[in-house]
Amino acid sequence: MAKTIDARNLTRIFGDTTAVDNISFSVDEGEIFGLLGPNGAGKTTTIRMLCCLISPTSGSAIIGGYNIADREGAMNIRRMIGLVPDNVGLYETLSAYDNLEFFGKMYELPDGLRRENVEKYLKLVDLWDKRDRAVGSFSKGMKQKVAIVRALIHDPKVLLMDKPTVNLDPEAAKGIRDLILQLRKDGRTVLINTHNLDEAQRMCDRIGVLKTKLIAVDTPQNLERAISGTQTVVVLEEVNDDILNAIKAVNPKDIKRDGNKLIIDVNNPEKETPVIINAIVSAGGKVISANRIGASLEEVYLKLVKE
Amino acid sequence: MRKSTLSWSRSETMKFWKAWIIAKKDLSILKRRKTLVGLIMALPLALGIALPSLTYYLMIRRNIPLSMATELLASFAFFFMIIAALLPLYISSYSLVGEKIEKSLESLLVTPVTDEEILIGKYIGAFLPMIISIYLGEIVFMALADFLTFTKLGYLFYPNWSFGIAMFIGVPLAIIYGISFSVLVSSKVNSVQSAYQIGATSLIPFYVLYVMGEINLISLTSSTNILLISAGLLIAVVILYLVSKKTFNREKIIMEWK
């Protein structure tokens, strides 16, 4: 699959502070890629470099075949991308329609297509009926929707979204997430900055964990698998003291009993879990199932950013 | 390691229609700020009524000599130039600082727009309401001055060359000078208040000229002097525009505007 975004050794230094340190990643066409990281991890700086608002101190990125460090390339990139910034940045006294008309004109859309797109996208986000209301009177969710429509108005191939659901209520956030998933169906490439793990897990095809440096890049499932949990759930036909004593003899970190289900926590699951299962069977236990509890993305994330 | 620079937009040719779109957007926003529009329209209009009324009062009640009355009337041309340099502070300070406050500039800068298109758009958006308001004030001023002084003077004082030069050359240049100064200032500060305060220093040359006129070092009623002052304004406008363009740093704007 073609790489729509290809960042190579991107670095940005502000004075004595390195905001983004030598990061490389690529985003395929039609992929949703999430940049996940704590506050101050360099997510916004990365997006700003990719949409040519600030220049990298070193390194480069190619978007749709154009280099962000190249003057003419940057202008072509701006035509090709849509940005949903951290702050909606709409003209509050103007109506939603006038805001979108203005930005449509700045993107040099012909009159017919511009009006068609304003109508199409405002209908998509259920704001067509409110198009003539001043944006200042809108709720945060509605403003965010208008900001997303603004980013879509010129039908960009690439969408860069900086925390698109931050400060939104759950319903509004779900609406935005559904819209982003719809955009992927339409074949657009989406790069999302977020510190919302649940959101990243639900939407992103791949996730890059960023903490100034890019710590890991993979699918949410692979990240979870890579850092598995240390607990195993063993379901037995019957649990008795002999079985519990046999397990305790192996010295696990913790044992929790819930009826015939045991949750056993060990230091080294690869080595200790087979020994425990063996001990259970030797004590006369009949094992119905044994499953290791995988780490949640949250655990993976916390582990990665703390390292 | 490459030095961080950002001058991407400068390779593109300026599209005047884009500047016009930005200006129209600024005018739409201004239209909704009724207090600001009221102030912009009221001040020249108030001068247009107050100055002829004052002249009339001095002529009728204080019996000042006709030569002094005509000298006074002629000097008002410079008043309108001062107002022309002052009023743009209110609009153009808001036009850039307002974008900072609404955080809308990031969204604008990410569109394929050049620095020149943004700056020229801001200039036009501030110039048009100013010129309309000041010309309206000047027309009222001339009409009222002629109406009130005709019987005493025996002729229509306005229009005359000196006022014509001030109106059609001095005033537009003074407006552009005021806009240039406040655009430059407002790209460096973070509040409309600061932009007003620092921008007000742009009037110092006008005050100096006014004082020089008062102590007879210069005649502010002479067509030649009005032309010379206009030439000085033109030079200042060109310098300020070039400095604004040079110092309009997208990266700084994005990183430092809070």
Look at residue B3 and tell me if it is in a domain.
Answer: no
Q: Name which of A149-153, A292-296, B160-164, B194-198 the model is least confident about.
A: A292-296
Please give the backbone phi and psi of residue B126, each rounded to the nearest 5 degrees, phi first. Answer: -90, -30
Residue with tokens 């201004």: B30
Structural domain boundaries in chain A: 3-225, 227-306
Lowest mean pLDDT among A39-48, A83-92, A121-130, B100-109: B100-109
How many domains in chain B? 1
Q: Is the ipTM of this complex over 0.90?
A: no
Average pLDDT of span B160-183: 92
Do B52 and B144 form a contact (C-beta atoms < 8 A)? yes
In a domain? residue B5: no
| pLDDT mean across residues, chain A | 90
**Is residue B65 a part of any domain in this protein?**
yes
Give the max Cα distance, chain A.
Answer: 81
Contacts 24+ apart (CB under 8 A), A256-262: A260/A235, A260/A236, A260/A288, A261/A233, A261/A234, A261/A235, A261/A236, A262/A233, A262/A234, A262/A235, A262/A236
d(CA B187, CA A10): 29
Domain contains B6: no
Quote the CA–CA distance of B241 and B127 in Å, as a whole number: 14
The confidence score (pLDDT) of residue A294 equals: 65
Residue of B nearest to A70 (CA): B8
Within A157-224, strands assigned E span: 158-162, 189-194, 206-211, 213-218
How confident is residue A230, by pLDDT bands cut at 50, 70 and 90? confident
Name which of A14-23, A55-64, B1-10, B70-79 the model is least confident about.
B1-10
- CB contact A71 to B (< 8 Å): yes
Is B68 in contact with B75 (CB distance < 8 Å)?
Answer: no
Strands A32-36 and A287-292: unpaired
Contact at 8 Å (CB) between A134 and A140? no
Of B11, B21, B32, the CB nearest to A72: B11
Q: Which of B32-36, B43-47, B154-158 has the lowest mean pLDDT?
A: B32-36
Amino acid letter, residue B220: L
Q: Is the pLDDT of residue A228 over 70?
A: no
Is 80 exceeded by the pLDDT of residue A137?
yes
* Structure tokens given for A8: 């190579």
The confidence score (pLDDT) of residue A226 equals: 65
Strand partners, A287: A236
**What is the residue-wise DSSP string for B54-80?**
HHHHHHHTS---HHHHHHHHHHHHHHH
Domain A3-225: CATH superfamily, name plus number: P-loop containing nucleotide triphosphate hydrolases (3.40.50.300)
Q: What token pair was written down for B158?
A: 């306005």
A248 touches chain B (CB under 8 A): no
- Per-residue pLDDT, averaged over A239-252, amounts to 90
A107 part of contact set with chain B, CB < 8 Å: yes
Residue with the two structure tokens 């016009």: B20
Residues B138-157, mean pLDDT to the nearest whole number: 94
What is the assigned CATH class of domain A227-306?
A: alpha beta
Distance CA B258, CA B245 (A): 21
Smallest Cβ–Cβ distance between B254 and the set A13, A54, A56 belongs to A54
Here the tokens at position A76 are 């072509």
| pLDDT value of position B7 | 44
Evaluate the omega torsion of the peptide bond into residue B159 and state whether it is cis, within 30 degrees of 0: yes
**Residue B8 clears pLDDT 50, i.e. is over it:** no
| Contact across the interface for A57 and B9, Cβ inside 8 Å | no
- Looking at residue B112, the DSSP 8-state letter turns out to be S
User: What confidence score (pLDDT) does residue B12 get?
Assistant: 66
SS percent in chain B: helix, strand, coil, step 5:
80, 0, 20
C-alpha to C-alpha distance for B243 and B249, rounded to whole angstroms? 11
Task: Report helix, strand or coil for B159.
Answer: coil
Residue A58 with chain B: CB contacts under 8 Å: 1-2
- Of residues B220 and A13, more confidently modeled: A13
Q: What is the pLDDT of residue A176?
A: 85
d(CA B92, CA B127): 9
Supply the range of the domain harboring residue B40: 13-256
Q: How many CB atoms lie within 10 A of CB B204?
A: 9
Which is more confident, B250 or B28? B28
**pLDDT band at A225; cut points 50, 70, 90:** low
Q: Residue B172: which residues within 8 A CB-CB, separation 6 or more?
A: B84, B127, B131
Q: What is the DSSP string of A102-167?
A: HHHHHTT--HHHHHHHHHHHHHHTT-GGGTTSBGGGS-HHHHHHHHHHHHHTT--SEEEEESTTTT
pLDDT at B250: 79
* Predicted pLDDT of residue B102: 79
- The region that residue A65 occupies, defined by phi over 0 for left and psi between -120 and 50 for alpha, beta otherwise, is left
Which of B31, B45, B26 lies closest to B133 in space, CA to CA?
Answer: B45
Using the predicted structure, report yes or no on whether residue B6 has a pLDDT greater than 60. no
CA distance B207 to B175: 16
Query: What is the 3-state secondary structure of B3-42?
Result: CCCCCHHHHCCCCHHHHHHHHHHHHHHHHCCHHHHHHHHH
Question: Among A77, A200, A78, A185, which residue's Cα sits nearest to residue A124?
Answer: A185
A231-243 pLDDT, tens per residue?
A: 788 999 999 999 9
Report the C-alpha gap between A215 and A232 in whole angstroms: 27
CA distance B174 to chain A (A): 29
**Interface contact flag, A58 B7, Cβ < 8 Å:** no
Which sign does the torsion angle of CA A92, A95, A99, A105 carry?
negative
Mutation site for B-interface testing, chosen from A94, A101, A103, A106 by largest number of B Cβ within 10 Å = A106
When CB atoms are compared, the residue of A57, A90, A105 closest to B21 is: A105
Looking at chain A, the whole-number percentage of residues with pLDDT higher than 70 is: 97
Q: Which residue has the tokens 């973070």?
A: B190
Whole-angstrom distance, CA of residue B93 vs CA of residue B108: 18
Q: 10 Å Cβ neighbour count for B210?
A: 17
Residue scoring higher pLDDT (A33 or B247): A33
Instruction: Give residue A62's Cα distance to chain centre.
Output: 21
Q: What are the residues of chain B with a beta carbon less than 8 Å away from any beta carbon of chain A?
A: 1-2, 4-12, 18, 21-22, 25, 28-29, 32-33, 102-113, 250-251, 254-255
CA distance to partner chain B, nearest, from residue A13 (Å) = 9
